[in-house]
Amino acid sequence: MTSLNMVTKLKGTVVLMKKNALNYKVIGGNTVVENEGDTVRPTLLDTSVGFKLISASKADATGKGKVGKETFMDGFVTSIPNLGDIQNAFSIHFEWDPNHMGIPGAFYVKNFTQDEIFLVSLTLEDVESHETTNFICNSWIYNAEKYQTERIFFANKAYLPSQAPQPLVYYIKEELKTLRGDGTGERKVWDRIYDYDVYNDLGQPDESPCLYRPVLGGSAALPYPRRGRTGRKRLEKYPETESRSGYFYIPRDELIIPQKSSDFVVNTLKLISQHETPQLRSLVRLQNDQPEFNSFDEVLSLFAGEHPDFPTPLVIREDRTAWMTDEEFAREIIAGVNPNVIKKVEDTTTINKKHLEPYMQDGTIKALRLYVVDYQDAILPYLRKINATGAKAYASTTLLSLQDDGTLKPISIELHVPHPDGDGIVTTSYTPATEGVDASIWRLAKAYAVVNDACYHQLISHWLHTHASVEPFIIATNRHLSVVHPIHKLLLPHYRNTMNINANARDVLIKAGGIIESTYLFGSYSMELSSDVYKDWVFPDQALPNDLIKRGVAVKDPKFPHGVRLLIEDYPYATDGLEIWAAIKSWVEEYVNFYYKLDAAVADDSELQAFWKELVEVGHGDLKDATWWFKMKTRAELIETCTTLIWMASALHAAVNFGQYPYGGYIVNRPTKSRRFMPEKGTPEYDELAQDFEKAYLRTITPLMETRVNMSVMEQLSSHVSDEQYIGHRIEGDLWTYDSEPVEAFKKFGKKLAEIEQKLIERNNDESLRNRNGPVKMPYTVLYPSSEPGLTFRGIPNSVSI
């Protein structure tokens, strides 16, 4: 027992990360990664980074936890197992009287050097009967003069607000106040402030009036989720538009060290946007000699030779022509990169029955089990404007019938355009054909439908429904849920790098004249169209079971696993997704119920209620009056909210992201533009189609330059980075919380995911499930939880990290 006034030495270990763990440089036109090997300078840090422990059990006269004496590190530690080669460990010894000061629960840190450091963790030994106290930090620490308040970190214990140790309450509230900021000023690189803004930084009208883009968010006409606020100045001539000059701010710890390998991807995307990769520079030089592909063999040459320009996409790795079949066209609707758009036909009154007669059974339409992919409502309002830019596009409606063998068969494709004389729509229907020019016409009809699908996928399924919709949750979490709040700890892995990649998307991908506008059909109307679709966004319907039921491809049935019965039984995205969904929900239920014993605990959680109120009223504020928002008063609502959010950030994003290059890397399979209308008899285009289908097809879809840019982008976006964190894993290992029950529940979650992966492998080996591999012999692996780095067409990262 320590005597009353005896000051003891409390032993600790500080882990810091090397400043430049990964350094990116451009050498000879290539972006390369160098392990620069910068070490943390121990002699400098020993005296220039100060730590002060804060008590969680003993308060001063003001009720705040007592603060200990400032202490500095006193030497290298070399005996720590599993310490990465880019980390350094230092010993530290605090003077601490446990009788007077109690138990440490937080600490202040000050960096007196001019360089920022990355603080990984602080571990204290011999605390409270030889227990170890862990402080997981993973944070950049700049020179103390950069901050208006002291940097503080808390031990890895989780508390509901009503249960937090009273001596820590002041510090918890002050840290949240710091993270919220005051809503003023331009953010600096070292700032940690989370705040909201509208999408007013996509245009560059100061460079050219044609680069003006309307503000998305803040109006009923153009609603949108909020992004992170940067505070950059507005343009003088266009005061509604924020300047794009300078730094695209994100809170500093949203880009953690090691500088995530996705930064290498972002660097590459920036070079692509400037045509600065070697392949694209050479292409620009050659473009005048060969501005177009003339045959499919020329497209295939991109993947040929000892050193091909691009890796061979999976869709043509086993069979180079199977993509052209109707069965594969239909299979990719339920097992491709955009598998969550197909709906069941409930109303057959508008269907052209003439086209259905060859497929009808017993003379009834209902026996056909009809499904549809319909882009008429989303795209048609923009077609007149899009086609005025030089594009030649349609809005498509693809009708399919479910066959007895479980596959889907396309029955007809309707192509819609606005009536040239004003109001009204001109619709032309096309049906399958296998011979002569009719077969070529049918293949073009499928291409027009795929162009719609590819553009809708990129802007809606991929960007809006994952990247953009998740960002307000990240901001609201950091503003109102303290780091010791159990829900903050639950959600944190699913936020990693999202604000960083979204900021870079605004910088490179979705800006006016950026990669999306230049390589996809909708051009300058791309983001405006996504705003229109957001009007119908419903958060509870992002939950996979709800989504399947809403689209009519499943019905509620408690007799079936996961409570739903799929009407398309061999639906790879849905069957695999339901397994992942159920595992996530089971984990979340166990976690939430550990901390919230009663529904009243949810309703009485002040931080949670503030988080939810701001998320609804500000983060997704343009939809705040919707009646479908959860009231956040019960454990069931909290569990459904967290499960849905984790699903969106992890499995949903994986399903719509990592198949981009495997399916779309061969542009003839997933074109992104259409430059000609369907040729009519008696025209030169019709004659060309009859004589040389491949040339006519390639003159219709995405041209050569945009194809190579798009392939370069998709290859990057479809690849897993080397430091990826996959679902069921955490960067902190088992130290993310002090509570053993959640740690064990999380391990059980990881084991369940491994079991699911084996089940999915078995499904892909089941030859009776024809949609699992299809004519292209490409197993549906994108929802396997694990993956190696690279272009793997599998793996579910925790977050929207690329």
Non-local (6+) Cβ contacts of 492 within 8 A are none
Known catalytic residue at 802: yes
Helix (H, G, I), strand (E, B) or coil at 730: coil
Token look-up 């004249």 returns 513
Q: Annotated catalytic residue: which of 467, 480, 488, 720?
A: 467
Q: Annotated catalytic residue: which of 272, 653, 720, 773?
A: 653
If phi over 0 gives left and psi between -120 and 50 gives alpha, with beta otherwise, what is residue 430?
beta
Cis peptide leading into residue 251 (ω within 30°): no
State which amino acid sits at residue 549: I
Widest distance between CA atoms in the chain: 103
Instruction: Select from 725, 721, 650 the least CA-distant residue to 265.
Output: 721
Q: The tokens of 276 are what?
A: 């600065």
Q: The tokens of 744 are what?
A: 């064990």
Q: Annotated catalytic residue: which of 462, 494, 562, 620?
A: 462
If phi over 0 gives left and psi between -120 and 50 gives alpha, with beta otherwise, what is residue 63?
left
Distances (CA, A) of 637 to 279, 489, 615, 622, 626: 51, 18, 15, 22, 16
Give the whole-angstrom CA distance, residue 617 versus residue 607: 15
Q: Annotated catalytic residue: which of 340, 478, 497, 657?
A: 657
Residue 540 phi/psi, 5-degree rounding, is -60, -25
Distances (CA, A) of 715 to 274, 660, 666, 671: 17, 8, 11, 15
Known catalytic residue at 462: yes
Known catalytic residue at 316: no
Known catalytic residue at 756: no
Distances (CA, A) of 4 to 116, 397, 733: 40, 81, 37
With beta carbons less than 8 A apart as the criterion, state whether 90 and 73 touch. Answer: yes
Task: List 49's β-bridge partners, or say none.
Answer: 111
State which amino acid sits at residue 85: D
Give the whole-angstrom CA distance, residue 36 versus residue 24: 9
Q: Annotated catalytic residue: which of 54, 272, 334, 802?
A: 802
Q: The tokens of 332 are what?
A: 């990719």
Known catalytic residue at 340: no
CA atoms within 13 A on the CB side of 757: 17
Task: List 399's β-bridge partners, or say none.
Answer: 372, 412
Give the whole-angstrom CA distance, residue 312 versus residue 301: 10
Instruction: Select from 388, 383, 533 the least CA-distant residue to 457.
Output: 533
Annotated catalytic sites, by residue? Answer: 462, 467, 653, 657, 802
